[in-house]
A and B are shown apart, each in its own frame.
Chain A
Amino acid sequence: MSGFADLSGKVALVTGAAVGIGAACAKELAAAGAKLMLTDINAHGCEQLAGQLSEAGATAFAGAQDVTDEQQWQQTVTSTVEQCGGLDILVNNAGAYTGGLLVDNELEAVRKVHQINVESIFLGMKYAAQVMQPGGSAGRGGSIINLSSVAGLIGVPGHTAYGSTKGAVRLYTKHAAVEFGRLCYGIRVNSIHPGVIETAMGRMVFQDLVDIGVSENLEEAEQAILDMIPLGNIGAVEDIARMTRFLASDEASYCTGAEFVVDGGMTAG
């Protein structure tokens, strides 16, 4: 896919980059020529991936980051600008899933998933926009991509807490996009809404369907999910990574405040 959404000269920070969609985004953005800062609460996984990408000729750094920690956000953004020479792209990907029936959910668990999925988006946008806006230490504007979900668009049993966080990400994105646009920051903000994707987190959804009694066993749960996907297959992490690359690039320079659904048709009907 030569020439696709070239990112040479741009610097990208990807959170939750050790595995799954985050790791795929890191590879895709590296292939597009971006310099990378990869963070994860699992620093080891990130370091390994950054090492692999560097060996293949990319410029990639890794760091430990708990995305719910405000100080760590400040440090991560500062060190990205220092080490990579700027910040043009933030992929707010790190997230957690919690399932279970609403009547059984514990307040603490619901708060925790909001902290990881929503507060992290706030902190990321805040500290990234501070440096990306004109006059900031990076100062070149750029693109922020927030990972939401189809669960941020439609209702699914067992997904109330998770869905609430992803719905919040969807609108956080629009408000930030409009505000940043009005203030001429030159920063675009968009959300991506993956359907069911082949990741460890995606697999947790199958288990949850069993746990809440909607499906008898994992096999049946997987079939139930497949039946919800018109294209008939679970998505690949690369499907989301390519959309991320598109939105990160200047090819999407008139896209902001919009939601990009990559779900095999799951929410079309």
Chain B
Amino acid sequence: MRVEGKIALVTGGGSGLGEAMCVRLAQEGAVVVVTDINVESAERVAQSIGDRAIAMQQDVADEARWAAVLDDIVERYGQLDVLVNNAGIALVGTVEDTTLEDWRLTNSINLDAVFLGTREAIKIMKERGGSIINISSVEGIIGEQKIAAYNASKGGVRIFTKSAALHCCDQGYAIRVNSVHPGFIETPMVSGAIDTMGEIESEAFTTRIVGNIPMGHMGEPIDVANGVLYLASDESKYMTGSELVIDGGYIAR
């Protein structure tokens, strides 16, 4: 058991990557708090895991809710060892056709929430240490013309992670902070975003993207969950401020 006895919070845990992370962490001995804005999906995931998981409703962009969720976790378990800031959205839009509303919504969920979660988790973790894992994207490292706001939010997560990692070191907290950069993975978020494009455009987009993946296929949620598990466990104890790219070679080209 690689994360035996650790208490882990996974946001956006009700589907896609988050669901796979919850299952994988629980398999290796963690107790998983599954949060999602859609509480039914979180409950479904928690129930499928069984005794090692509980579900909570959480809108990650809500500052007050972060404090409440973490208070609840500390009350139940007395600690938090792993935070996976996974919740995120992808809205399709170029720089020209993105509304300020969509831009702000994207950044509030993908970036503001990562800041809030990291800040609040550090308060709890600083005494006994922990691992904070921020889910960025390959789209936080390279550009993609169709998702301007998503690019900006994920790029922010990448460098914010390093800033937080260095701060924790400076303060002598045994908290590691790293980012994970999935490429194109078969998830409801990715297919949902592609579906909003309309048939002809979505087909062209998929052909272009998949054609650009050197491995020739999209990844599976488990591929990302395994990376998260590695960062959550003490196996990665010398890693902080680092990036785990899991993309089938997408940004190497």
The answer to whether B16 has its CB under 8 Å from any CB of chain A is: no
User: Please, which residues of chain B bring their CB within 8 A of the CB of A182?
Assistant: 214, 216
Does A235 touch B at the CB level, under 8 Å? yes
Give CA–CA (A42, B246) in the complex, Å: 36
Shortest Cβ gap from A176 to chain B (Å):
9
Asked if B1 contacts A181 (CB within 8 A), the reply is no
Which chain A residues in 214-248 approach chain B with CB under 8 Å? Answer: 230-232, 235-236, 239, 242-243, 246
Q: How far is the CB of A186 from chain B (nearest CB, A)?
A: 9
| A interface secondary structure, majority | loop
CB contact under 8 A between A260 and B244, given known A2-B1, A230-B166:
yes
Known: A177-B252, A242-B236, A268-B240. A255 touches B165 (CB 8 A): no
Query: Is B106 an interface residue when CB atoms closer than 8 A count as contact?
Result: no
Q: Name which residue of chain B comes closest to A250, CB basis.
A: B226
Query: Which residues of A lie under 8 Å from residue B235 when comparing CB positions?
Result: 1, 4, 242, 246
- Contact of B28 with A261 in the complex, beta carbons under 8 Å: no
Interface size class of chain B, counting residues whose CB lies under 8 Å from the partner chain: 35 or more
| A256 contact from B215, B220, B227, Cβ within 8 A | B215
Query: Across the interface, do B238 and A254 meet the contact criterion of CB distance under 8 Å?
Result: no
Q: How far is the CB of B214 from chain A (nearest CB, A)?
A: 3
Tell me if B93 is interfacial: C-beta within 8 Å of chain A: no
Is the Cβ of A252 less than 8 Å from the Cβ of B166? no
- A3 B2 Cβ-Cβ under 8 A: yes
Q: Are A265 and B252 in contact (CB under 8 A)?
A: no
Further pairs besides A252-B223, A258-B245, A265-B240: 20, Cβ < 8 Å: A1-B2, A177-B214, A177-B249, A177-B252, A178-B253, A180-B214, A181-B248, A182-B216, A184-B216, A195-B238, A231-B169, A251-B226, A251-B227, A254-B248, A256-B215, A257-B252, A261-B239, A262-B238, A268-B165, A268-B242
